[in-house]
Structure 1
Amino acid sequence: MPEGITAECLMENIMEKISDNLPKQKNASFFEDDKSNSMSTQFNRLFGRQKPVHHLLGGGKSADVLLWRDKKISASCLTGATVVWVLFEWLNYNFLTLLSLAIAIGMVAQFAWKTASGMLNRSPSEVPHLVLPEHVFINIGKLVGVEVNRGLNFLQDVACGGNVKQLLGVVLSLWAVAIIGSWCNLLTVVYIGFVAAHTLPVLYERYENEVDGFVSNALDQFQHNYRKLDARVLSRIPTGKFRGKKFE
């Protein structure tokens, strides 16, 4: 009897283990498939992003404007930039000329309004004094200074780091910027960037799956060609260790 009870217990334990392990294996494979799918989806996202486009753009009012959450404000910003670009680029107006004309027109309009209100026995309009807060200029100056110093530190690190591949990439990028600068002036470049900032994010948010797939394929092809170039040319370039003096 003890042997029979032991055998029955063993059989029951074996059956319980088999019945318990089967669903676990299925669940495990199911979760592994989900995990692999999520990993592939994450890899295919542009630049490996994990957050929505609105969050990447800051998630505030600026992101709402760039993604056309408020169409009136976004259209007004884009229209204003287009008007400024047309005035300076197509009509060849000067900034100082436009500023002087705007101030003169404003002063004449205010003088005419006060004169007309006095003749019609109306109280003259009170003009508020325009005072720009000083902290705005201080914050802008600090922000510009921080970004300029960051850019200079990056260029110096690339120049003194001894990484030929990184140096070659930066030089080619600056060469491309120089070519673009020969085609158009700074105002046109800024306007193109402004228009791109108001069109590309909203288009990407609408067609992100198609764009992510295209960019992923393009990056794979670029990496394949770069590995060939690295194996044939770049890997044979001798690299030296440059010890530059670090500036704090």
Structure 2
Amino acid sequence: MAIDENLKTCVVFGGRGFIGRFLVLRLLKLGKWIVRVADSAQSLQLDPSEDRSVLSEAISSGRASCCAVDVRDKAQVRKAIEGASVVFYMDPTITYTNDFYLCYMIIVQGVRNVINACQECKVKRLIYNSSADVVFDGSHDIYNGDESLPCPWKFEDMLTDIKAQAEGLVLIANNIDGLVTCALRPCNVFGPGDKQLVPFLVNKAKSGHAKFVIGSGENMSDFTYVENVAHAHVCAEEALVSRMVSVAGKVFFITNLEPVKFWEFVSLILEGLGYQRPLFKLPAGMVLYVLSLVEWMRDKLDFRSNHPVSAQYVVQIASRTRTFNCSAAQKHIGYSPVVSLEEGVTLTTESFSQLSQDSSVMALRDFDEQSKVDKLLGGGKVADILLWRDEKKTFTCFLALFLMFYWFFLCGRTFISSAAKLLLLVTAILSGQGILPTNIFGFSIQRISLSCFEISDTVVNDLITNMANLWNNWIHMIRLLAGGGDWNTFFKVAIPLYFLKLILSQCLTLVVGVALVLAFTSFFVYEQYEEEMDGLAEVLFDSIKKSKRLLMRNLPAPLVSFLCNRDALPDDEGFTMAKSQ
């Protein structure tokens, strides 16, 4: 098939990335362009789902082509740009790390190479895909912000800092050697093929973090469906031709024009994939403090995160209001959304059906990735309650235990008096429930089944067997103590009993209260930060061992010989013999 000679060539850098794919398809559907897809992906082969797509047909007809380009290589960039009249620059599809030099070379130096190649090849227009994050300092809300907002002096996020530098290079290059430029700042882009926002939310839902709202939950935010971002780039290119003076060298915020509560949007995505919406609110300041502590632990234990976006920055985005004014984009480049927010959410959740909670993949992954604390708690109802997997059941259990704690320890009565009053209250409730009629004013009264008070023979037998085993173990321990000479057994029994005596006489109420709180928090926290906690425990145990060895070296030899267990500690035995010699 012959190609229309009137068609002009455009280049889309990052054309196989998230936004780039939608832009390529939109340019091809317009029918006015020969599209050259330039990307740094290892393989530019089409996915099986694209075999009969617009892109595959365009490649067959010669209206589209793909080329692998490393933007750090000037020769490759120049070869990709030659003969083009327009260049759209998206970030290359590469897995970023926290390596500042690598990210800088790919984003900033890559943009510099593209600008130089555009000027050398006489390209007329360059549109850069930036981000609304470049005006966010992490600590202040943005209400209806416009293009007059300055970039902060210090960025909380490395990638945002680098993108702001790249954006500045593009704008400075405007009207030099015949090249006109502009930049678009989309906010919170989402849609099918997203590898950041939606997968991040799903991962948090699987780990249990998505059950919590950070901050008040009232903060507003703008979100932009990916197809609207692609449409905005086409509008910007057309505006650079027809209204160059008001567009060239400028930046424009791009949103869906539908500000929404941040956590309401998160809830829509999670519920669309079968997960529960966030319910419990956590103060943003407290979360930031905990994350700072975790980050400090990681630095001390040399656990380096491989992700360039810090958890603190994510918390700041999730707890701050960030809405932007798109009137400049509407007025100067003629932008208006082509897909509504509601429709965009529906299309997105449908495209991520493989990540839904009901999928067999999810069930298999949950089974394979059972945490240590889940195994410790038996992986049953107790684990579900203490790990907050069923919020209603967990909260009910916590409330019931707290009421019991108040009844027995905080109400000012003796333990026996509290137990007697509790039994009296239970007796009155059971008797009253039995006297009540089955129907009162149309409300049916559910009777307690008598089977609830029955205990099966198996349970009774198991209980008696366990009690007998426990009794036999204590009798064996008492025999060892009565025999004399077994100091290890003596200290194992005497020291715990002494501490138990102190707890019962001095601070039983405090210990029970702390244990109640820790039971519903420590297991959950450990499951979320298992590696860091294990690393910290390892460091503490190493410190204890070193302190023990240092102490043993400074004790008299007879005392060392008395304290050391020769069978369990052969190293100490050798050391003791050497010391006595």
Report the counterpart of residue 426 of structure 2 in structure 1: 102
Query: Any conservation in 2 of the 1:65–1:74 contact (CA below 8 Å)?
Result: yes
Distance 1:210 1:79, change over 3 A: same
| TM-score, reference length from structure 2 | 0.28
Query: Any conservation in 1 of the 2:480–2:486 contact (CA below 8 Å)?
Result: no
User: Is structure 2 residue 536 aligned with structure 1 residue 214?
Assistant: yes
User: Is structure 2 residue 542 aligned with structure 1 residue 180?
Assistant: no
- Write the distance in 1 (CA, Å) between the matches of 2:387 and 2:469: 27
Report the counterpart of residue 55 of structure 2 in structure 1: none
Q: Structure 2 matches for 1:232-243, cutoff 5 A?
A: 232-233=554-555, 235-237=557-559, 239=562
Structure 2: 5+ residue stretches without partners: 1-370, 564-581
Query: Any conservation in 2 of the 1:67–1:202 contact (CA below 8 Å)?
Result: yes
Considering fraction of residues, name the structure with more helix: 1
Structure 1: 5+ residue stretches without partners: 1-50, 241-248
| The 10-residue stretch of structure 1 (94-103 or 225-234) with the greater mean CA deviation from structure 2 | 225-234
Q: Structure 2 matches for 1:45-124, cutoff 5 A?
A: 52-91=372-411, 92=413, 94-113=418-437
- Write the distance in 2 (CA, Å) between the matches of 1:223 and 1:158: 29
Give the partner amino acid of 1:180. Answer: I
Alignment partner of 1:224 out of 543, 546, 560: 546
- The Cα of 1:230 is off from its aligned counterpart by 2.4
- The Cα of 1:179 is off from its aligned counterpart by 1.7
Report the counterpart of residue 188 of structure 2 in structure 1: none
- Write the distance in 2 (CA, Å) between the matches of 1:165 and 1:127: 52
- Write the distance in 2 (CA, Å) between the matches of 1:164 and 1:133: 43
Distance 1:109 1:82, change over 3 A: same
**Structure 1 vs Structure 2: percent identity of aligned residues?**
26
Deviations 1:160-211 (A, max 9, x none): 69565675465333322222222234x7655644443332211111122332
Distance 1:143 1:195, change over 3 A: farther
Q: Structure 2 matches for 1:129-168, cutoff 5 A?
A: 129-130=450-451, 131-135=453-457, 136-150=459-473, 153=476, 164=487, 167-168=490-491
- The Cα of 1:78 is off from its aligned counterpart by 1.3
Higher relative contact order (CA 8 A, sep 6+): 1
- The Cα of 1:99 is off from its aligned counterpart by 1.5
SS in 1 for 2:437: helix
Query: Any conservation in 2 of the 1:158–1:167 contact (CA below 8 Å)?
Result: yes
- Write the distance in 2 (CA, Å) between the matches of 1:60 and 1:184: 32
- The Cα of 1:85 is off from its aligned counterpart by 0.9
Aligned residue pairs: how many? 186
| TM-score, reference length from structure 1 | 0.58
- Write the distance in 2 (CA, Å) between the matches of 1:101 and 1:198: 27
Give the partner amino acid of 2:470. Answer: E
- Write the distance in 1 (CA, Å) between the matches of 2:462 and 2:512: 22
- Write the distance in 2 (CA, Å) between the matches of 1:72 and 1:60: 16
- The Cα of 1:54 is off from its aligned counterpart by 1.1
| The 10-residue stretch of structure 1 (192-201 or 155-164) with the greater mean CA deviation from structure 2 | 155-164
Distance 1:159 1:223, change over 3 A: farther
Distance 1:146 1:217, change over 3 A: same
- Write the distance in 1 (CA, Å) between the matches of 2:532 and 2:448: 54
Root-mean-square deviation over aligned CA pairs: 3.9
Distance 1:87 1:200, change over 3 A: same
